[in-house]
Chain A
């Protein structure tokens, strides 16, 4: 157990629907990062939050949004889902906002859009 909790582990939904992925960071970590990994592809950075504030944005579609709450858990909202959104979505956390520490990853949410 890495200490980063992601729910749900699996999600199957239809095109056009909206889903919410949840992440609880490791205790003491203030930064949360969201990554998308399509089949046998690399890790695409979506967005980072640090202590409730958006810190960096990557290749996140306009249909996707995220937020970090006062208790530091984060949610990634995916709307108007398309088949191409099927992927593994990872959340990672770290103590700081920069790259001075390693990232701890959750076990991921596997999203299947049918």
Chain B
């Protein structure tokens, strides 16, 4: 029931774009995205509700396709501060599950 994220890890140069995918085997009510820097607490980025909406947060945006039970996080013109591990979180019924995580490293 834990959502699967891909890729597991990605290395980018500053200014490059990245896409992180999150797939669930269960029907989804909503999808959350979080970023966690090493040794720190996860920080909430955004939530997407049913309806196929797309949301943005500075140069980070996301989409949610409830029919495919998938969500994607788009990072454009990446900055060094984007480095960290990204987790999706999915709500199925009344249970919340964090995804497997994607380690993103941005290098100069």
B100 pairs with A56, CB closer than 8 A? no
Residues of A within 8 A of B96 (CB): 33, 45, 56, 99, 103
B32 pairs with A99, CB closer than 8 A? yes
B87 within 8 A of A: yes
Residues of A within 8 A of B97 (CB): 45
Q: Which secondary structure dominates chain A's binding surface?
A: loop
Segment of B16-24, B42-50, B75-83 in the binding face: B42-50
A102 pairs with B101, CB closer than 8 A? no
A90 pairs with B100, CB closer than 8 A? no
B100: nearest chain-A partner, CB-CB: A42
Contact pattern, B 39-71, Cβ under 8 Å of A = 1, otherwise 0: 111111011010000000000000000000000
Distance of A92 Cα from B46 Cα, bound (Å) = 15
Distance of A100 Cα from B89 Cα, bound (Å) = 12
B41 pairs with A107, CB closer than 8 A? yes
Return the contact of B42 from the options A43, A56, A98, A99 (Cβ within 8 A): A43
B74 within 8 A of A: no
Return the contact of B41 from the options A33, A45, A55, A106 (Cβ within 8 A): A106
Evaluate whether A108 and B41 lie within 8 angstroms (CB atoms) in the complex, with A43-B87, A99-B96 already known. yes
B40 pairs with A99, CB closer than 8 A? no
Distance of A29 Cα from B49 Cα, bound (Å) = 20
Distance of A56 Cα from B40 Cα, bound (Å) = 25
Return the contact of A42 from the options B32, B46, B47, B98 (Cβ within 8 A): B98
Contact pattern, A 4-20, Cβ under 8 Å of B = 1, otherwise 0: 00000000000000000
Residues of B within 8 A of A98 (CB): 29, 91, 94
Residues of B within 8 A of A33 (CB): 96
Residues of A within 8 A of B46 (CB): 102
- Contacting B at CB under 8 A, from A31-82, are 33, 35, 42-43, 45, 55-56
- State the A residues within 8 Å of B (CB): 2, 33, 35, 42-43, 45, 55-56, 88, 90, 92, 97-108
